Structure 1
Amino acid sequence: MMHDAPTETKACLNCGKGLAGSYCSSCGQAAQSPLKPLLEFVQESLSEVLSLDGTQIRSLRALLTKPGLLSAEYLDGRRTHYVHPVRLFIVVGVVSYFVTTLFPEQRLLFSMGPVLFGSEAVGVEFLFLAAIIPVGALAHWIVLRRTIPFFLGHLVFVLHVVAFSFVLSPIEAVLSWATATRPVLSLVGLVAPLAWAGYWLAALSRVLGGTFREALKPALFIYILFVTFLGPFAWLVDSGWF
């Protein structure tokens, strides 16, 4: 039979040093026992994932207002001031997904600019998402490998751009819901794809160190490769192979 352990310990469970406060003065680990009531564990887990500290706020602000800055900073080695790309991608994606599910009739695959493969099946959405990231990174690497030789750099860039599309997804769902009975306003649904396309071009120009116009040519080749690579996969899914 299991019993709840006490929430405070007299010695650090990580390094064994004596405790004089809420955290170990030697290694920094919290003084609480890892064995705790389930509700407390869930609350702590949600707090860890969703809490906004200075780094997270700075990262979200840069993601929303300065396209490409997070990727450029990561590639230049300045990483301590921002959330890791994978963590940012997961947190923004999870929050966006649950907000979007509040509008089930308008649920769409997360907006990917001009290439939209909408589906009502959650499994299909995640199949596309799983394909979009590596395929997008590969398309960027093929076109830009002389400027950014490492595939990881392109993967980080795509993670940041897709994270921004996660932010647009609830907005797109709300707009679709608000204009569902107003055909005249249905064009509002184009806002999210156009915003994503503009964001992608702006991010690309920042990472490449050029102008918006200079980013158009490589962006066109990347788009062609992306559609070429992803097209067969989209056809298989649409044909019911997945």
Structure 2
Amino acid sequence: MDHLNFENQSHCLNCHTPLAGEYCSGCGQKRASRLTFKHLGVLLQSALFDLESPFFRLLFGLLLQPFSTIIGYLNGQRSRFGNPFKFSFILLTVIVLASHLLETSFMPSSQLLESKEQLKWQSEIALYEATHIYRVFILAFLLGLASKLVYRSAPYTMLEYTIGHLLILTLSVLIFSIPLMLEIFSEQLYAILSLLFSGLYSIILNYKMAENELAKWKNWVQAILAYAIGSTLFSAMLTFLFGVYSGFTHKI
């Protein structure tokens, strides 16, 4: 196998654009060199403490200015905040792994298991636990669908509404899962607060996305209606799927 000659680079090793200086005019990558241990500190610092990366910009933006951050992304600030689906998946996966390490439950299954009747439903509880966090992607899609149905004349697309609601739901999970894992919140309090927070913020997001298009009272009515439709569709879908699943497993 031929080894690259890092000393005499005529083209960018990332995108193959001809080099005219230290940085590529095509992709912006700096002239590459062999990785040695002297680069280790820089790589670790960039991975752990690069607060200017799109991931951390989006994280801090959601924590400090959630609505302006989301609307800024939807209105064109794409490279500034990166990929919202990747952001949500990574953050939710970290939360899931941390909850498993700390043996944290996101539902009050301990109370459910106290009932002898509920002992028959342990498989359903396990399924709920395994899929709980990632169901925000489904809920975000349904909220996006409902928002576009209600705001048919709005300039935003269904996907843009979905992305906005996904980031709100991810923020809700992040904020309330930390005190849950630290045993500051109970599972019941986590469920109540995260539901209230995500519902309120989703309604406000819909309102702000149409703030200059509608009268205030009409906008609030439509924002609440869109959330009600989306969350009702989500509850109906979950009830149906778990009913089908439980019926199938009990037959077996």
Instruction: Give the TM-score, by structure 2 length.
Output: 0.64
| 1:133 alignment partner, one of 137, 140, 145 | 140
Aligned residue in 1 for 2:181: 174
After TM superposition, the structure 1 = structure 2 runs for residues 221-232 of structure 1, keeping only pairs within 5 Å, are 221-232=225-236
Between Structure 1 and Structure 2, which shows a larger proportion of helix residues?
2
Bigger radius of gyration: 2
Q: 1:9 to 1:96 in 2, by over 3 A?
A: farther
**Contact 1:138-1:151 within 8 A present in 2 as well:** yes
- How many residues of Structure 1 are paired with residues of Structure 2 in the alignment? 221
Q: What is the distance in 2 between the residues matched to 1:52 and 1:72? A: 21
Q: CA deviation at 1:138?
A: 0.6
3-state SS of the aligned residue for 1:63?
Answer: helix
Alignment map for 1:24-173 (pairs within 5 Å):
28-29=28-29, 31-32=32-33, 51-53=50-52, 55-108=54-107, 120-121=126-127, 123-125=130-132, 128-148=135-155, 150-171=157-178, 173=180
In 2, distance between residues paired with 1:143 and 1:19?
52
Q: Secondary structure at the match of 1:178?
A: coil
For 2:142 and 2:191, how far apart are their aligned partners in 1?
26
Query: CA-to-partner distance for each residue in 1:29-71, whole Å, 9 max, x for gaps?
Result: 35146xx89xx99x96996698432544443232112232123
Partner Cα separation in structure 2 for residue 133 and residue 93 of structure 1: 14
Question: 1:199 is matched with which residue?
Answer: 201
2:157 partner letter: F
Tell me which residue corresponds to 2:116. none
**Deviation at residue 164 of structure 1 after TM alignment:** 1.2
Higher relative contact order structure (alpha carbons within 8 Å, sequence separation ≥ 6): 1
Unaligned runs of 5+ in 2: 108-123, 247-252
Change beyond 3 A, Cα 1:20–1:163: same
Structure 2: distance between partners of 1:80 and 1:147: 24
Checking the alignment, whether the CA contact within 8 Å between 2:140 and 2:162 is kept in structure 1 is yes
Counterpart of 1:81 in 2: which secondary structure?
helix
* CA shift for structure 1 position 145: 1.9
From the superposition, tell whether residues 214 and 65 of structure 1 become closer, same or farther in structure 2 (CA, over 3 Å): farther
Q: Could you say if the C-alpha distance between residues 212 and 7 of structure 1 is closer, same or farther in structure 2, counting changes exceeding 3 Å? A: farther
Unaligned runs of 5+ in 1: 109-117
Q: Distance in 2 between matches of 1:216 and 1:16?
A: 51
Q: Go from structure 1 to structure 2 and tell me whether the alpha carbon gap of 1:49 and 1:225 turns closer, same or farther (over 3 Å shift).
A: farther
Identity of matched residues, %: 18
User: In structure 1, what is the Cα distance between the partners aligned to 2:139 and 2:151?
Assistant: 18
Letter paired with 2:245: W
CA distance in 2, matches of 1:153, 1:173: 30
CA distance in 1, matches of 2:185, 2:80: 40
User: What corresponds to 2:13 in structure 1?
Assistant: 13
CA 1:48/1:199 → structure 2, altered by over 3 Å: closer, same or farther?
same
What is the rounded CA distance, in whole Å, between the counterparts of 2:175 and 2:190 in structure 1?
Answer: 13
Q: What is the root-mean-square deviation in Å for CA atoms of aligned residues?
A: 4.4
Q: Is the CA contact (8 Å cut-off) linking 1:64 and 1:164 kept in structure 2?
A: yes
Q: What SS does structure 2 have at the residue aligned with 1:53?
A: coil
Secondary structure (helix, strand or coil) at the match of 1:148 reads: coil
Is 1:143–1:218's contact at 8 Å kept on the other side of the alignment? yes
**C-alpha contact 1:67 1:199 (8 A) present in aligned 2:** no
